[in-house]
């Protein structure tokens, strides 16, 4: 039987990259026992960001979300751990950074609901879809 945990998809968003927090967030990923299975720095085009967030296309904040996600480079990652989806969501804290407790990634590095430093998949099914949106099979270690 495999001892590997399951995987989630994570983004260190452009606000956190701009603020110099890639290292701080990766330190937390390590400290909380996630294995990084894939990782790259990328600057999303509007097409890539819009496709990724297509489920939010009808929301009033969609344009703002695409503007922000294309405003600078981000880091996309595949994280592995038991119950990776929930464990990463717990480490990030709630979506709205102003409501996220200190000690969570969004509480410490985010500034608003839009500029919230990080993304994580909301289910194992979406994790698989999101991982394959950004990574080829050959990019996983
Ligand atoms: P994320 O987990 O990446 O998934 C969708 C994103 O939409 C969310 O984080 C927020 O950054 C963003 N978002 C959600 N609600 C709002 C809002 N009211 N205004 C701006 N952005 C939002």
pTM, entire model = 0.96
Atom of ligand 1 nearest to the CA of 122: 2
Q: Which residue's CA is the closest to the ligand 1 atom numbered 22?
A: 114
Q: For residue 67, how far is its CA from the centre of ligand 1 (angstroms)? A: 12
pLDDT value for 55: 95
Q: For residue 124, how far is its CA from the centre of ligand 1 (angstroms)? A: 19
Domains of the chain: 7-136 (3.30.70.141)
pLDDT value for 2: 47
Residue 105 predicted with pLDDT over 70: yes
**Nearest alpha carbon to residue 88 among 96, 78, 97:** 78
- Average pLDDT of the residues in 111-126: 98
- Is 119 among the catalytic positions? yes
pLDDT value for 81: 97
**Nearest alpha carbon to residue 77 among 33, 36, 30, 119:** 36
Residue-wise pLDDT tens digits, 27-86: 999 999 999 999 999 999 999 999 999 999 999 999 999 999 999 999 999 999 999 999
Ligand 1: residues with CB < 6 A are: 56, 61, 64-65, 95, 113-114, 116, 119
pLDDT value for 137: 96
């Amino acid at each position: 039987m495999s001892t590997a945990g399951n995987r989630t998809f994570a983004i260190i968003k452009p606000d956190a990259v701009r603020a110099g927090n890639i290292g701080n967030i990766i330190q937390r990923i390590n400290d909380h026992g996630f294995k990084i299975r894939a990782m790259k720095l990328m600057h999303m085009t509007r097409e890539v960001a819009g496709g990724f967030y297509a489920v939010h296309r009808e929301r009033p904040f969609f344009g703002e979300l695409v503007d922000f996600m294309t405003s600078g480079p981000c880091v996309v990652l595949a994280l592995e751990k038991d119950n990776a989806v929930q464990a990463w969501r717990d480490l990030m804290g709630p979506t709205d950074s102003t409501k996220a407790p200190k000690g969570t990634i969004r509480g410490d590095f985010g500034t608003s609901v839009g500029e919230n430093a990080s993304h994580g998949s909301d289910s194992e099914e979406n994790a698989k879809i999101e991982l394959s949106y950004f990574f080829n099979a050959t990019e996983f270690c």
